[in-house]
Amino acid sequence: MQLSALLSFLLLLLPLMTTCFPKTRPRSCDEVEQYVSLPSNVYTIYPTIYGDPVKVFCDFDIDRGRWTVLLKRSTGDLNFYRPWESYRNGFGDPAEEYWLGLETLYHLTKDGSYELLVVLEDFDRRRVYAHYNSFYIDSVCEGYKLHVSGFRDGGAGDSLTYHDGQSFSTFDKDQDSSDTNCAQRFLGGFWFKSCYQTNPTGIYQWGRAFGRFSTGIVWSKWRGFSYSVKCITFMFRPS
């Protein structure tokens, strides 16, 4: 076959090849599952073109799947009372409990429209959801400011819209709207305001949280401020 004819043949095959085979460097869980049905598990993604790969948990089961997990709490085995650099870079084991990392989250959400799903479970095995149609965060220059809106109720109530527009705070980097350091007071890192309606990075307390505003894993619009939930997961995908 002449060279020109071979090149023409390969050009005809190119669209078919790029359609039938998955990307070798998926940017998110949405791209991981573009071509084949996969089980929910830990996968490798590439949030930036030249950056390091990142291990994430991809949920392919809930509501048509393709969710990239940002935060997962379920056992209390991991300490979430950590400094700014830990929350910026990420920590934990995606197969167990973990925090994805603010810098990675920024790169994954900065250039598109994303939705957020919060999944909650209590110690009576009741599971509820809170869904937000729009979700992204700003860069570190803006304090990784949270943007979340378009709440739809799945039984959990809305405890997150209160935090919209807030920069991220940790005990060593106070960026909340309170006169006190909310991260230090409630033992976690989050987009605190004055101080919270949800505290998903609080201390794991097996339901036994105490006080008007506890240091537990709280979603106030569901079980109130004095109940620490069993499981909480934040996950996002292109809307």
97 assigned to some structural domain: yes
Range(s) of the domain holding residue 149: 24-238
Lowest mean pLDDT among 11-20, 24-33, 62-71: 11-20
pLDDT in tens, 81-137: 999 999 999 999 999 999 999 999 999 999 879 999 999 999 999 999 999 999 999
pLDDT given for residue 9 in this prediction: 44
Q: Are 191 and 168 in contact (CB under 8 A)?
A: yes
6 assigned to some structural domain: no
Q: For the chain, give the percent of residues with pLDDT over 70.
A: 88
44 assigned to some structural domain: yes
Q: Which two tokens stand for residue 129?
A: 């959801």
154 assigned to some structural domain: yes
- Local confidence band at 3 (pLDDT 50, 70, 90 cut-offs): low
Distance CA 29, CA 17 (A): 21
Percentages helix, strand, coil for the chain (3-state, rounded to 5) are 25, 30, 50
151 assigned to some structural domain: yes
4 assigned to some structural domain: no
Q: Is 127 left (phi over 0), alpha (psi -120 to 50) or beta?
A: beta
**Residues in CB range of 107: below 8 A, 6 or more apart:** 47, 48, 51
108 assigned to some structural domain: yes
Nearest to 195 by CA among 211, 179, 210, 209: 179
16 assigned to some structural domain: no
Strand residues in the chain grouped as ranges (E): 41-45, 54-59, 67-73, 91-92, 98-99, 114-121, 127-137, 146-154, 198-199, 218-219, 231-238
pLDDT given for residue 188 in this prediction: 97
Average pLDDT over all residues of the chain: 90
Burial 12-36 (b: 16+ CB within 10 A, else e): eeeeeeeeeeeeeebbbbbbbbeee
**Overall domain count for the chain:** 1
CATH code for the domain in which residue 39 is found: 3.90.215.10
**Residues in CB range of 100: below 8 A, 6 or more apart:** 54, 56, 68, 69, 70, 71, 90
Lowest mean pLDDT among 14-28, 52-66, 93-107: 14-28
